[in-house]
A and B are shown apart, each in its own frame.
Chain A
Amino acid sequence: MAVTIKDVEKTAFLARIDLSEEEKNKFTEEIKIILDHVENFVDLNTENIPPTINILPLYNVMRDDITRPSLDKNAVFQNTSHEEDGMFKVPKIL
């Protein structure tokens, strides 16, 4: 499947990554190479083959509804300088 610069632009927007014109061209080319490579399995017949999401056949892994201590305040904010009133500050939301 042919991937275009437009596809790359749209995808980059969804991923919230800005690309320069040069990067757009480069990524489009690289993605083409990978898609060409991946193309081989598009023709592989997988009709009625179930997908493997989890490798181990585990199910119903659940925990009891018991509270455990939350993080203390210092730990919550130790990796940011953008704290205000015990909350994380973010710029204007559009």
Chain B
Amino acid sequence: MSLYEKTIHELHGMLIKKEISAEELTKDVLARMDQVEDKVKSFVFREEKEKAIAQAKGVDEKISRGEKVGPLAGIPMAYNDNICTKGIRTTCSSKMLADFVPPYDAFVAEKIGEAQSVFIGKTNMDEFGIGSSTESSFFYPTRNPWNLNLVPGGSGGGAAAAVAADEAVFALGSDILNPAAFCGVVAMKPTYGRVSRYGLAGSTSSLEQVGPVTKDVTDCALVLGAIAGHDPKDSTSAPGDVPRYDEFLTGDIKGMHIGIPKEYFGNEFDPEVKDAVLSAVKKMEELGAHVDEVSLPHTPYVMSAYHVIAAAEASSVLARYEGVRYGYRREDVPDIEALYRTTRTEGFGPAVKRRIILGTYFLSSGQIDVYYKKALQTRTLVKEDFDRAFEKYDLLVSPTCPGTAFPLGTQADDILNGTGLYTVPPCVAGIPAISLPCGLVQGLPVGLQIMGPAFAEEKILNAAFAYQQRGGFPRIKPSLSGEGK
């Protein structure tokens, strides 16, 4: 196996045993990127090779001096391009920020810097995270490594595609569960507040969290451990210590109570996907878990609440992009109003504009109580559904998406496409969820989603680990096939 195919924990072992150097590893991953990036187009920015190698050499020196290094040291990684990186262009895949260079690091970028991973690039996404296929990127769509004619999912599709195509050993992004499912990798959305949002240039405030995209569950636990924790610069950041997530990976789920939300298994989806998920559930049962059906009665309202909250927050958060201090600016305008209108009309793509207008409408006088207040109340009911379920069950299991990856150009305009049907509820309720591969349907990966109560990431990770280690579904590799046209 080539180095670029390996996991963090495998590579860490080799690094500290000095079987390989971080420099060697970095060169190998960069070479892999050279080899496949033209096909996959995961990245919107690639770090200069010399700089990446210099970072790796720094880690090698530490190791050769006998200094102890953490599990992420020397591991090549990428950020989704809505994570601010000091001195490095951060675009949110938008024309609006195509030249924006933040003078600050996101909290997670600081943490990864401290962990001494090797930064190799920024990955593509739907513009400002609005979309579910990475096709609304201002730059270009990213391809699914399993079939280059298909989308990688979204909004954080570049991160998942990069890890799936072995162009990075791990990546960080927000809104990565569905891309992880489509690309056959592991991703976790932590509990709201578990990871600081400082420097996450999102389009919402109350729905997004940064999480890891990795090749396996152990790596996921290691990366989450590195980025979680309280941040005084984020008022919504949870206080308290972060567990050593990797120490919870025993693989023992005997006696664990797992609920299957019956509302998630309606007619919406592909029967083969359903079979794949149910057979994964069966495996977990075989490993000693008790599995039962559970009801989340407000499920039919989740998407409505999400549409309203996401749009309302986007209309507010994205109002700062008006051309005065940074970002796209239309020149030669007669007055400030013209500056605002031309900058925003030309700087945002159609999906973003649609969401801003929708959100502005939801918040406008006369509508705010009908929609926004209602959405926040619905959110309370959705949260209570989960609270009740978690009184009886340790975890809930569902598909990550109702189907597998779809062809490029087919659903970009489908504003209500169902890819978020199962990944949205954990966002609305603020609970953690993981997606990991549980099978292939017609050669395409299917994602298994495991949800848990707030701050029960270790429980989720252990269940995912048990399934991945003992469930009979091995790590899977994409073929990079297809036309890519």
Contacts and interface: CB of A to CB of B under 8 A. Distances in A.
Interface string A16-30: 111100010001001
B358 A80 contact: no
Contacts of A46: 374, 377-378, 380-381
A37 B357 contact: no
A28 B356 CA distance: 13
Interface in B363-411: 364, 367, 370-371, 373-381, 383
B63 to A, nearest CB: 34
B353 interface: yes
Contacts of A42: 370-371, 374
Interface string A53-82: 111101001010000000100011011101
Contacts of B364: 10-11, 14
Interface in B299-346: 300-301, 303-305, 307-308, 315, 319, 322, 324-327, 329, 333-342, 344-345
Contact of A55 (B193, B334, B367): B193
A86 interface: no
Contacts of B298: 44
B266 interface: no
Contact of B303 (A37, A50, A90): A37
Given A17-B356, A53-B206, A58-B235, A37 B327 contact: no
Given A34-B358, A53-B206, A94-B336, A18 B342 contact: yes
B307 A38 contact: yes
A56 B430 contact: yes
A2 interface: no
Contact of B379 (A7, A52, A63, A82): A52
Contact of A17 (B325, B338, B344): B344
B238 interface: yes
Interface stretch (B38-46, B98-106, B137-145): B98-106
B458 to A, nearest CB: 18
Given A38-B371, A52-B380, A15 B356 contact: yes
A16 B340 contact: yes
Contacts of B333: 91
A10 B261 CA distance: 42
A1 B368 CA distance: 13
Nearest to A16: B340
Contacts of A37: 303-304, 307, 416
Given A3-B361, A17-B341, A41 B374 contact: yes
Interface residues of B, number: 68
Contacts, number: 162
Interface string B39-72: 0000000000000000000000000000000000
B193 A15 contact: no
A79 B383 contact: no
Contacts of A8: 357, 361
Nearest to B381: A49
B195 to A, nearest CB: 13
Interface in B410-430: 415-416, 429-430
A49 B380 contact: yes
B7 interface: no
Contact of B415 (A30, A52, A79): A30
Contacts of A56: 192-193, 236, 238, 430, 454
Contacts of B322: 16
B232 interface: yes
B295 interface: no
Given A37-B303, A53-B206, A93-B335, A44 B374 contact: yes
Given A94-B335, A94-B336, A44 B301 contact: yes
B354 interface: yes
Nearest to B97: A79
Given A51-B377, A58-B235, A71 B103 contact: yes
A11 B358 CA distance: 8
Nearest to B337: A94
B429 A40 contact: no
A63 B164 CA distance: 42
A44 B206 CA distance: 22
Nearest to A1: B370
Given A11-B361, A27-B357, A54-B236, 19 more contacts: A10-B364, A27-B353, A34-B416, A38-B308, A41-B374, A46-B380, A49-B381, A51-B380, A52-B376, A52-B377, A58-B235, A71-B103, A79-B99, A79-B325, A80-B324, A80-B329, A82-B324, A88-B324, A91-B334
14 contacts: A10-B364, A17-B357, A33-B415, A34-B307, A38-B371, A42-B370, A49-B377, A51-B377, A52-B380, A54-B206, A56-B193, A56-B238, A56-B454, A91-B334
The 8 closest A-B pairs by CB, nearest first: A51-B376, A55-B430, A79-B326, A75-B103, A46-B377, A16-B340, A41-B304, A61-B235
